[in-house]
Chain A
Amino acid sequence: MESGLSSLLSVSIDFETSHLFFPRIISWLMAGLFVLILATKVAPFMAAVKRGERTLPILGESRDNFRFFGTLVLIVAYFYLMAVVGNMFPYTGYGFLIVSIAFVFLMSLLYLHDWRKKTIVILVINAIVAPSLAWFVLAKLFTITLP
């Protein structure tokens, strides 16, 4: 009995495949927990959704679609263009500076609720000053690598 238990618990790990040993355990654990959650949490929740007592997260919620997807689009464009412009002026950080000014301005406009001349002027000043300041302090004073 004793030897049976110890042989059950004994394990040898082949060095060649040792990189898969722990991930395999974790993957199975994750899958098992997922099934458990499906059964105990998700199924009752979906039933409640069907009865109309609850709404689905994300899909069934009201959301400011314009600002939400606008933010995503702007961030993707920002990250992408930063590298593109940055490659035109390597090792200067101008890519970051130029694209950031445009990004900060557009994102501010996106979030702006009251469109008055005064607030827009503040936005423009902020969009120019903030990235320039960040660029100057980080790239010039601290010589941190920027795109």
Chain B
Amino acid sequence: MEFLSFLDVTFFLLAGLGALVGIIFGAIPGMTATMAVAVCLPLTYALGLHHGLALLLGLYVGGISGGMVPAVLLNIPGTPSSITTTFDGYPMAQKGEGEKALKICVVASVVGGLISAAVLFFFAPILADFSIKFSYVEKFLIILLALSVIASLSSSMLIGIFSGVIGIWLSLIGDYGISDGGNGKTRLMFDFMEPYLFEGFSLLPVLIGVFGISTILLEAEKGAKSGLVNERIKLSKGGYFSFSIFKGRLTNLVRSSFIGTFVGMLPGVGGSAASVLAYTQEKNLTRDSSQMGKGAPQGLIASESANNALTGGALIPLLSLGIPGDSTTAVLIGAFTLQGIQVGPLFIPENVDTWYVMMTALIFANIVMFFLMFYAIKYIAKVVMVPKHILFPIIVMMCVVGAYAINYGIMFDVWTLLIFGILGYLVQKIGLEVAPLIIGFILGSQAEVYFVKSLESFGTYSIFFTKSPIALVLWGLIVASVVFAIVMGFKSRAREKMELSQVTGSTHTSAGKGHDRNND
């Protein structure tokens, strides 16, 4: 119980503040939990480890749940993970039941968050304990598995793998660190870059650039329209909330929470996958799904409990294996490194107090989120109206602070923001995937060390298959994820072909018409 001495008033205030700021970020369309964490990073530089963690976890929980507000009120998912919330939330808001819908979401969110926190608490130490025996060979295979899972869940596996490989390639720029057993020589760059890039790109400026600056560029391209002026927000004209709505929906609530937790554990899979899966499961398994999509509370429950359950789920691989579960935890990994924590199998056994502090912060942030959203939802709903011309410049400014201060004042880190801001913009524009790229970037240099060291000590490629039974199990999982992707790819291609044949049928006629007109 020694960890109790780390919990002071400031700790709880920071977790609460984090939740509030996170909710606000999540509630603004286009701003995500990842961005909230990235933009608020500089605040944690000056805080100690435990206070910093409180703030970051508060931001994470708040940011994910805040996305429900615009989803319900404006039919715009505030974060990608609240996409399925729009299906039933917006129809309810149109009926004047906005407040009721939001309160259902809030309750579902807190249940999802707490269930996943419980799973995290019991499961992460077990997984860490198991993975402690891993040698470099298994560690390399774990990274390979993580990347193949991400790639297989991308819209196209080939694109997913390619994006991941680009991320790894970018992470290799710089020296092969002596501290990792390398020879300290640089590669993948020209000599003139050496003063700036000797240690490669710093992780956090890269993340802030990809998630902060490129979002600004994407919005600027669309003209940064606020576009909400004509929307009238109807909160509560009829239909008040009561807890009896949840009667008979407990199975849905618990099932969706577990789905969310499980999807969160898969590395690099965003929140949208969790809520979509939970939503379709509810649709398949419920007795009456006729109202779903037209304003049924059960849809909201499925969607929101699943997407908040991500928080605990995504922390499991992060804390036990050192592999981030989603893009927000990818930023968290950077923040941990900054505080001198190396996440991985040894994290929990060696930092038991910090582990308990984290759990406390996570649970407390969920509770604060619940009370803030449940009782102040009317005021929070107004946040969706903040004009972008006020917000965006401030976000760029905070990105700069975050990048500049990270290594105590290096201007190149600020330029890294711009480089990766533009790169992130281009990547999204040409249809590559950001999540595998970032996970590849984070894991790339570790993958190199594990790979090269395994080969140096064993001298044969076959070691990756013969090292241990665990290695074979990991290969099995890798193959399974690839097969899964190929099967899914065939299915969606068949569907696409069907749609395409319909589309080409119609374009044929329109093209024909155009041709006729030209002749006229």
Residues on A lying within 8 angstroms of B by beta carbon are: 6, 9-13, 15-16, 18-23, 26-27, 29-30, 33-34, 36-37, 40-41, 52-53, 57-58, 63-64, 67-68, 70-72, 75-76, 78-79, 82-83, 96, 100, 103-105, 107-113, 122-123, 126-127, 130-131, 134, 138, 141-147
- Taking a contact as CB atoms under 8 Å apart, the answer to whether B397 and A68 are in contact is no
Is the C-beta of B509 less than 8 angstroms from some C-beta in chain A?
Answer: no
In whole angstroms, how far apart are the Cα atoms of A127 and B225 in the complex?
Answer: 19
Which residue of A30, A57, A96, A138 is within 8 Å of B166 (Cβ)?
A30
A-B contact pairs, 5 of them (CB 8 A): A30-B165, A64-B224, A82-B400, A111-B224, A145-B408
- Taking a contact as CB atoms under 8 Å apart, the answer to whether A146 and B389 are in contact is no
In whole angstroms, how far apart are the Cα atoms of A75 and B400 in the complex?
Answer: 10
Is the C-beta of B216 less than 8 angstroms from some C-beta in chain A?
Answer: yes
In whole angstroms, how far apart are the Cα atoms of A100 and B397 in the complex?
Answer: 7
In whole angstroms, how far apart are the Cα atoms of A105 and B396 in the complex?
Answer: 12
- Interface bits B374-391 vs A (CB < 8 Å: 1, else 0): 000000000000001110
Is the C-beta of B461 less than 8 angstroms from some C-beta in chain A?
Answer: yes
Is the C-beta of B475 less than 8 angstroms from some C-beta in chain A?
Answer: no
- Taking a contact as CB atoms under 8 Å apart, the answer to whether B462 and A30 are in contact is no
CB nearest to A51 among chain B residues:
B511
In whole angstroms, how far apart are the Cα atoms of A141 and B47 in the complex?
Answer: 11
CB nearest to B175 among chain A residues:
A19
Which residues of chain A are near B417, meaning CB under 8 Å?
79
- Taking a contact as CB atoms under 8 Å apart, the answer to whether A37 and B393 are in contact is no
Which residues of chain A are near B162, meaning CB under 8 Å?
30, 33-34, 37
Stretch from B280-288, B333-341, B425-433, B479-487 that touches the partner? B425-433
- Taking a contact as CB atoms under 8 Å apart, the answer to whether B222 and A22 are in contact is no
**The 6 residue pairs across chains A and B that have the minimum distance between CB atoms:** A142-B46, A19-B176, A111-B389, A64-B223, A107-B393, A104-B393
In whole angstroms, how far apart are the Cα atoms of A104 and B396 in the complex?
Answer: 9
Q: Known: A26-B172, A33-B165, A37-B159. Is A13-B220 also a contact (CB below 8 A)?
A: no
Which residue of A19, A72, A110 is within 8 Å of B217 (Cβ)?
A72
Stretch from B184-192, B264-272, B363-371 that touches the partner? B184-192
Which residues of chain B are near A19, meaning CB under 8 Å?
175-176, 182-187
Give the shortest distance, in Å, between A105 (CB) and chain B (any CB). 8
- Taking a contact as CB atoms under 8 Å apart, the answer to whether B45 and A131 are in contact is no
In whole angstroms, how far apart are the Cα atoms of A30 and B444 in the complex?
Answer: 13
- Taking a contact as CB atoms under 8 Å apart, the answer to whether B158 and A36 are in contact is yes
Give the shortest distance, in Å, between A85 (CB) and chain B (any CB). 12
- Taking a contact as CB atoms under 8 Å apart, the answer to whether B221 and A67 are in contact is yes
Which residue of B168, B172, B400, B430 is within 8 Å of A57 (Cβ)?
B430
Give the shortest distance, in Å, between A129 (CB) and chain B (any CB). 10
In whole angstroms, how far apart are the Cα atoms of A87 and B11 in the complex?
Answer: 37
- Taking a contact as CB atoms under 8 Å apart, the answer to whether A123 and B389 are in contact is yes
In whole angstroms, how far apart are the Cα atoms of A96 and B166 in the complex?
Answer: 33
- Most interface-central of A19, A71, A72, A143 (chain B CB within 10 A): A19
Q: Known: A64-B223, A107-B393, A123-B389. Is A26-B165 also a contact (CB below 8 A)?
A: yes
- Taking a contact as CB atoms under 8 Å apart, the answer to whether A79 and B414 are in contact is yes
- Taking a contact as CB atoms under 8 Å apart, the answer to whether A41 and B390 are in contact is no
- Taking a contact as CB atoms under 8 Å apart, the answer to whether B220 and A146 are in contact is no
Is the C-beta of B455 less than 8 angstroms from some C-beta in chain A?
Answer: yes
- Taking a contact as CB atoms under 8 Å apart, the answer to whether A143 and B46 are in contact is yes
Which residues of chain A are near B511, meaning CB under 8 Å?
52
Is the C-beta of B459 less than 8 angstroms from some C-beta in chain A?
Answer: yes
- Taking a contact as CB atoms under 8 Å apart, the answer to whether B411 and A71 are in contact is no
Q: Known: A6-B462, A23-B172. Is A147-B396 also a contact (CB below 8 A)?
A: no
Give the shortest distance, in Å, between B463 (CB) and chain A (any CB). 9
Give the shortest distance, in Å, between B47 (CB) and chain A (any CB). 8
- Taking a contact as CB atoms under 8 Å apart, the answer to whether A78 and B187 are in contact is no
CB nearest to B47 among chain A residues:
A142
- Taking a contact as CB atoms under 8 Å apart, the answer to whether A11 and B460 are in contact is yes
CB nearest to B461 among chain A residues:
A9
Which residue of A33, A70, A76, A103 is within 8 Å of B393 (Cβ)?
A103
Is the C-beta of B418 less than 8 angstroms from some C-beta in chain A?
Answer: yes
Is the C-beta of B121 less than 8 angstroms from some C-beta in chain A?
Answer: no
In whole angstroms, how far apart are the Cα atoms of A58 and B196 in the complex?
Answer: 30
Is the C-beta of B20 less than 8 angstroms from some C-beta in chain A?
Answer: no
In whole angstroms, how far apart are the Cα atoms of A110 and B432 in the complex?
Answer: 29
In whole angstroms, how far apart are the Cα atoms of A141 and B417 in the complex?
Answer: 25
Give the shortest distance, in Å, between B157 (CB) and chain A (any CB). 11
Q: Known: A26-B165, A82-B400. Is A146-B405 also a contact (CB below 8 A)?
A: yes
Give the shortest distance, in Å, between B219 (CB) and chain A (any CB). 9
In whole angstroms, how far apart are the Cα atoms of A64 and B218 in the complex?
Answer: 10
- Taking a contact as CB atoms under 8 Å apart, the answer to whether B397 and A53 are in contact is no
- Taking a contact as CB atoms under 8 Å apart, the answer to whether A58 and B393 are in contact is no
- Taking a contact as CB atoms under 8 Å apart, the answer to whether B429 and A22 are in contact is no
- Taking a contact as CB atoms under 8 Å apart, the answer to whether B183 and A18 are in contact is yes
- Taking a contact as CB atoms under 8 Å apart, the answer to whether B166 and A75 are in contact is no
- Taking a contact as CB atoms under 8 Å apart, the answer to whether A111 and B221 are in contact is no
New contact pairs (17) apart from A64-B222, A138-B42, A145-B409, CB-CB < 8 Å: A9-B462, A13-B456, A19-B185, A26-B165, A34-B162, A72-B422, A75-B396, A79-B417, A79-B418, A108-B389, A110-B389, A111-B224, A130-B393, A130-B397, A134-B397, A138-B46, A147-B404
Is the C-beta of B226 less than 8 angstroms from some C-beta in chain A?
Answer: yes
Which residues of chain A are near B188, meaning CB under 8 Å?
23, 27
Give the shortest distance, in Å, between A107 (CB) and chain B (any CB). 4
Is the C-beta of B415 less than 8 angstroms from some C-beta in chain A?
Answer: yes
CB nearest to B503 among chain A residues:
A53
CB nearest to A56 among chain B residues:
B430
In whole angstroms, how far apart are the Cα atoms of A121 and B501 in the complex?
Answer: 56
Question: Which residues B422-455 have CB closer than 8 A to chain A?
Answer: 422, 426, 429-431, 444, 447-448, 451-452, 455
